């Protein structure tokens, strides 16, 4: 069925009961208060080795829209959460269909906290409304996001990967600050985020100026 769907076909749900995030986490959203939607994008020449560029483009699109809406201190928390200060306001989950060495198509799932006022025990979560003191029109915000995603993705296969990655790195959450990272075995290590690799791995400077790279599943940022 999806082969017959056009580029940027978007499915929006007002009630999401089984939202998924990275590594099996759950995205909880209050009905009618937030934006939870998925966007289909086909590609012709996007190499598998460059699939993280898609994460970068979508993150930059959201960063641009939220900054234009005067949401304060918008940052990208690697690999693909959007933060305002120390509060998480948006999650992105991208699933790619591959054909040999190329990305054939992608489904871009986005959950954005817009008008939700309470997050119970989720002390690190917030919404556009809580951060700005305003109530937002969901359709208007969705329109802005879809327009900006299209603008970024339409040029993804032609744009300079270096320039795009540099832009992404300039907005990284806690970049160049001492942070704590939790490894798969539970070990906590201090380090400083310095950037991301071409493959989307997080580049972290450890003690004694030792640089290492972590994939999504190898480490989580504890702030």
Give pLDDT tens digits for 30-89.
Answer: 778 999 999 999 999 999 998 999 999 999 999 999 999 999 999 999 988 999 999 999
Return the percent helix, strand and coil in the chain, to nearest 5: 25, 35, 40
Give me the pLDDT at residue 123, please.
Answer: 85
Q: Which residue has the higher pLDDT, 80 or 176?
A: 176
Q: With a cut of 70, say whether residue 174 has pLDDT above it.
A: yes
Per-residue buried b or exposed e for 191-207, using 16+ beta carbons within 10 Å of the residue's own CB: bebebbeeebbbbbbee
Q: Which two tokens stand for residue 28?
A: 């909880």
Banded model confidence at residue 96, pLDDT cuts 50, 70, 90: very high
Which neighbouring-strand residues pair with 182?
188, 220
């Amino acid at each position: 069925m999806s082969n017959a769907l056009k580029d940027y076909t978007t499915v929006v749900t007002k009630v999401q009961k089984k939202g998924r995030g990275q590594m099996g986490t759950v995205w909880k959203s209050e009905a009618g208060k937030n934006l939870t939607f998925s966007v289909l994008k086909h590609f012709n020449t996007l190499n598998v080795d460059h699939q993280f560029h898609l994460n970068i483009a979508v993150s930059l699109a959201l960063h641009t829209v939220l900054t234009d809406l005067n949401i304060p201190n918008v940052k990208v928390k690697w690999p693909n959460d959007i933060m305002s200060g120390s509060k998480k306001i948006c999650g992105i989950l991208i699933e790619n269909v591959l054909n040999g060495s190329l990305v054939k198509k992608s489904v871009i799932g986005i959950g954005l906290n817009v008008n939700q006022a309470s997050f119970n025990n989720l002390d690190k979560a917030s919404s556009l409304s809580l951060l700005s003191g305003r109530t937002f029109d969901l359709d208007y915000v969705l329109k802005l996001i879809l327009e900006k995603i299209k603008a970024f993705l339409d040029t993804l296969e032609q744009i300079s990967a270096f320039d795009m990655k540099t832009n992404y790195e300039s907005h990284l959450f806690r970049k160049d600050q001492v942070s704590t990272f939790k490894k798969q075995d539970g070990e906590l290590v201090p380090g400083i985020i310095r950037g991301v690799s071409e493959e989307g791995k997080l580049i972290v400077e450890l003690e004694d100026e030792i640089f290492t790279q972590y994939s999504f599943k190898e480490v989580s940022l504890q702030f």
